[in-house]
Amino acid sequence: MLFTGTKSYVATPDLMTAVNAAIALKRPLLVKGEPGTGKTVLAREVAASLGRPLIEWHVKSTTKAQHGLYEYDAVARLRDGQLGDERVRDIRNYISRGKLWEVFAAEETCVLLIDEIDKADIEFPNDLLLELDRMEFHVYETRETVKAKNRPIVFITSNNEKELPDAFLRRCFFHYIRFPDKETMERIIDVHFPDIKKALVREALTVFYELREVPGLKKKPSTSELLDWLKLLMVEDLPPDALKAKDAKSLIPPLHGALLKNEQDVHLFERLAFLARRESRGD
């Protein structure tokens, strides 16, 4: 079981090493990086390339670690008790399995994605320490211990909104997805749009990286935004020349809405473009 990237996902050697280490030693892999660099997609691609089922657990600000294990619906049981329902005698009727239980109960090795772990409360990772370490947990209501039949491959993504506790980090492998350089980016585009004109890609990438260099942008466009933008460019069937803005007539790239998601950023860019135009006129 070795992960070497897939047809639709370009993995750099450092990422591959980290993923394979996590798979071989059956430890969670914590993935961080700028938004839109393919953290979440990684788990999907690994699952697809290894032919394993993927179970996704999307974490929200209200998510508790317990939600991933199981939930005991005491209120429903109380209601049933009031109604005199027969179901009430068996507590198991009121325990609903969480994502981790699903993964632990699976007959084959699963890929588990815990997405955006930093969104949850600061204690969340701590509450999952034992579960992820030993891959088992105890259900107090039924006094049974749920143990993973096969240790799953766990991917955890974080956007850095909260710091994760040391004890948690010590149990993970860590990888920071850096923003891809131009060469890797060309490979990524190639994988997604094999029939795109080479000239268009070159021009688009130049525009894209120049845009990322603009100081003071609130949200720098990332890989996923570049791919969206290229899709638009392809649909519009723009010639590569349309992107050559060096003549300072049209400094704002066409369809920039896909790249700049923030009104202030668009304004800033327009202002810079205006300044550049004035300068070039002065020449």
Partner 1 sequence: MFTDFFLKLRDAKVPVTLKEHLTLIEGLKAGVCDWSVESFYYLSRATLVKDEAHLDKFDRVFGEVFKGIESLSPEALLAAIPEEWLKKLTERFLTEEEKRQIQSLGGWEKLMETLRERLAEQKGRHQGGSKWIGTAGTSPFGAYGYNPEGIRIGQDQNRNNRAVKVWDKREFRNFDDKVELGTRNIKVALRKLRRFAREGAASELDLPDTIRSTAHNAGWLDVKMVPERHNAVKVLLFLDVGGSMDEHIKVCEELFSAVKSEFKHLEYFYFHNCPYEAMWKDNRRRWSEKTPTLQILRTYGPDYRAVFVGDATMSPYEIVQPGGSVEHFNEEAGQVWLQRVTEHFRRLIWLNPVEERRWNWTQSVKMIERLVGQRMFPLTLDGLDRGIRALSR
Question: Which residues are near partner 1 by CB under 8 A?
Answer: 13-14, 17-18, 20-22, 24-25, 27, 29-30, 32, 61-62, 64, 75, 78-79, 82, 121-122, 160-164, 166, 169-176, 178
CB of residue 240 to partner 1, shortest distance in Å: 30
Closer by beta carbon to partner 1, 194 or else 215: 215
For partner 1, which is the closer residue by CB, 21 or 130?
21
The count of other CB atoms within 10 Å of the CB of residue 225 is 19
As measured in angstroms, the least distance from the Cβ of 78 to partner 1 is 5
| Nearer to partner 1 (CB atom), residue 62 or residue 145 | 62
In the three-class reduction of DSSP (H, G, I as helix; E, B as strand; rest coil), residue 259 is classed as coil
CA distance 70 to 55: 15
Q: Which residues contact 55 (CB under 8 A, 6 or more apart)?
A: 99, 102, 103, 106, 110, 111, 112, 113, 152
Residue found by looking up tokens 């040391």 in the block: 166
At closest approach, how far in Å is the CB of 185 from partner 1? 15
d(CA 173, CA 35): 20
Smaller CB separation from partner 1, 50 or 242:
50
User: How far apart (Å, rounded) are the C-alpha atoms in residues 256 and 243?
Assistant: 11
Closer to partner 1 by CB, 78 or 199: give it. 78
CB of 145 to partner 1, least distance (A): 24
Residues 127 and 64: beta-carbon distance below 8 Å: yes
Helix (H) / strand (E) element for 137: namely strand 136-139
Q: How far is the CB of 43 from partner 1 (least distance, A)?
A: 16
CB of 152 or CB of 253, closer to partner 1: 152
User: Tokens 């009104």, residue?
Assistant: 263
Asked if 38 and 9 count as a contact pair (C-beta separation under 8 A), the reply is: yes
C-alpha–C-alpha distance, residues 222 and 244, integer Å: 21
For the record, the structure tokens of 90 come out as 């068996």
> What is the torsional sign of CA 94, 156, 154, 9?
positive
CB of residue 73 to partner 1, shortest distance in Å: 11
Tokens of 74: 């005491």
Nearer to partner 1, 15 or 211 (CB): 15
Q: In the bound complex, what is the minimum distance in angstroms from residue 89's beta carbon to partner 1?
A: 19
Amino acid at 108: E
